[in-house]
């Protein structure tokens, strides 16, 4: 079998490290051609030593690259603009985008423009620019394969069941570390409390988003765009064990679910090998003693979820504003500038402004992102 040429963007993050585990474990299937990072130059230098044929792109401070011995070497791309250049030159068959935040959007487009399939963990690309990303992919007949566990589950369920007779999507949510906290106690939640996720080990931004349920809000928008389905037909169900990754309900009443241990290596492996079936790398799910619970999400204690539905229904540039306001608010919370409940206050204030009017090309999407950030400064 010919090895797939793989680029891993955000190789030093949580998704990136899981992807490297998959690539090392299934080494006959993959040949890495590019790794990228933004601040952890030392880890990127180690990857470059382990995979000398692969290019590496470092978008952070030049001094950090120099200290790690990355400068002046062949196959090394340095600087903020170098990542898209490296993507264009890498010639990947599939690009895993594990960059966090809005910074992932341009690399997603660059990967598709280079002729690579897109294995997408960076949900912000779809929340900000779903139509543009999908149009770019369609114009080149390239697949966008979701890596987010919920969307990976739905993608696979819809491939197997077909869309005929589909009633609605049921997105599961762990509920995060504050699922049982009262509204009063939530006001006192610290970054340390919020970073202690009960079931998933992830980067800081998405971990805070899981605590506010903004992550589920972003995922509702992501699902609407990826699967071309309306807000009314996407339901969120809190399922603390994170064993059911999502479900689809059919008009005849049947519900189909995807179950596995909470381990991101499975959706990453499936996206990298798509459309082939993958050999088992992860531990099997044991049913003995397994107890699965379900609850309705509490939109009063977790207003970020209802704000996401509002933004999705409002259309225009509201989902760009939702994402940007949330990124600013999370950074302010982590910096100790605002309280945990202040995150939704910042987002509500930004969304109260007028974001009607479409932004459908990359420059206008990036400009809307910039304006939303300016409006969300705290």
Residue 148 within binding range of Mg ion, rule CB under 5 A: yes
Residue 327 within binding range of Mg ion, rule CB under 5 A: no
- Contact region with Mg ion (CB under 5 A), list: 16-24, 143-151, 187-195, 353-361: 143-151
Contact pick of 106, 124, 222, 263 for ligand NDP (by CB under 6 A): 124
Q: Are 44 and 58 in contact (CB under 8 A)?
A: yes
Through-space distance between the first and last CA atoms of the chain, rounded to whole angstroms: 53
Listed in order, strand segments (DSSP E) in the chain are: 4-9, 30-37, 55-58, 76-78, 94-97, 117-120, 144-146, 166-173, 234-238, 244-250, 255-259
Nearer to Mg ion, 206 or 325 (CB): 206
- Which positions from 46 through 75 interact with ligand NDP, judged by CB under 6 A? 59
The length of the chain in residues reads 378
Residue 7 within binding range of ligand NDP, rule CB under 6 A: no
Contact pick of 4, 5, 123, 317 for ligand NDP (by CB under 6 A): 123
Residue 124 within binding range of Mg ion, rule CB under 5 A: no
Which of Mg ion, ligand NDP, none is residue 174 near (CB under 5 to 8 Å by kind)? none
Query: What span, in angstroms and rounded, lies between the C-alpha atoms of 214 and 326?
Result: 8
Question: Closest-CB residue for Mg ion?
Answer: 148
Residue 343 has a CB neighbour count (10 Å cut-off) of 26
- Contact region with ligand NDP (CB under 6 A), list: 122-130, 164-172, 288-296, 361-369: 122-130
Q: Tokens 């049982």 belong to which residue?
A: 180
Q: Are 320 and 279 in contact (CB under 8 A)?
A: no
Binding footprint of Mg ion on the chain (CB under 5 A): 148-150
Binding footprint of ligand NDP on the chain (CB under 6 A): 10-16, 37-40, 59, 98-100, 103-104, 121-124, 148, 200, 202-206, 264
């Amino acid at each position: 079998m010919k090895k797939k040429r793989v680029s891993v963007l955000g190789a030093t993050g949580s998704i990136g490290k899981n992807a490297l585990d998959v690539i090392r474990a299934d080494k006959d299937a993959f040949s890495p051609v590019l790794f990228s990072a933004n601040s952890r130059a030392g880890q990127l230098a180690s990857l470059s030593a382990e995979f000398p044929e692969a290019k590496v792109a470092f978008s952070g401070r030049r001094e950090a690259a120099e200290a790690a011995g990355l400068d002046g070497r062949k196959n090394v791309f340095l600087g903020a603009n170098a990542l898209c250049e490296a993507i264009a030159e890498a010639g990947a068959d599939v690009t895993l985008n594990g960059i966090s935040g809005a910074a992932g959007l341009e690399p997603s487009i660059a990967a598709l423009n280079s002729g690579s399939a897109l294995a997408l963990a960076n949900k912000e690309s779809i929340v900000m620019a779903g139509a543009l990303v999908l149009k770019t992919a369609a114009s080149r007949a390239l697949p966008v394969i979701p890596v987010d566990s919920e969307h990976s589950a739905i993608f696979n369920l819809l491939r197997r069941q077909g869309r005929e007779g589909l009633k609605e999507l049921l997105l599961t949510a762990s509920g995060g570390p504050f699922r049982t906290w009262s509204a009063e106690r939530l006001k006192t939640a610290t970054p340390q409390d919020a970073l202690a996720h009960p079931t998933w080990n992830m980067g800081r931004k998405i971990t805070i988003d899981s605590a506010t349920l903004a992550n589920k809000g972003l995922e509702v928008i992501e699902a609407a765009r990826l699967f071309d389905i309306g807000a009314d037909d996407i339901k969120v169900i809190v399922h603390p064990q994170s064993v059911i990754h999502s479900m689809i309900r059919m008009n005849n009443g049947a519900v189909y679910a995807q179950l596995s241990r909470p381990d991101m290596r499975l959706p990453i492996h499936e996206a990298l090998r798509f459309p082939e079936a993958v050999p088992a790398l992860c531990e099997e799910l044991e049913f003995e003693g397994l107890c699965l619970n379900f609850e309705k999400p509490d939109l009063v204690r977790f207003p970020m979820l209802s704000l996401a539905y509002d933004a999705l229904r409002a259309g225009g540039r509201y989902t760009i504003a939702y994402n940007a306001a949330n990124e600013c608010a999370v950074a302010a919370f982590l910096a100790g500038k605002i309280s945990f409940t202040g995150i939704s206050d910042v987002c509500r204030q930004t969304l109260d402004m007028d974001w009607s009017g479409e932004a459908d090309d990359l420059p206008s999407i990036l400009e809307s992102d910039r304006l939303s950030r300016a409006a969300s400064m705290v």
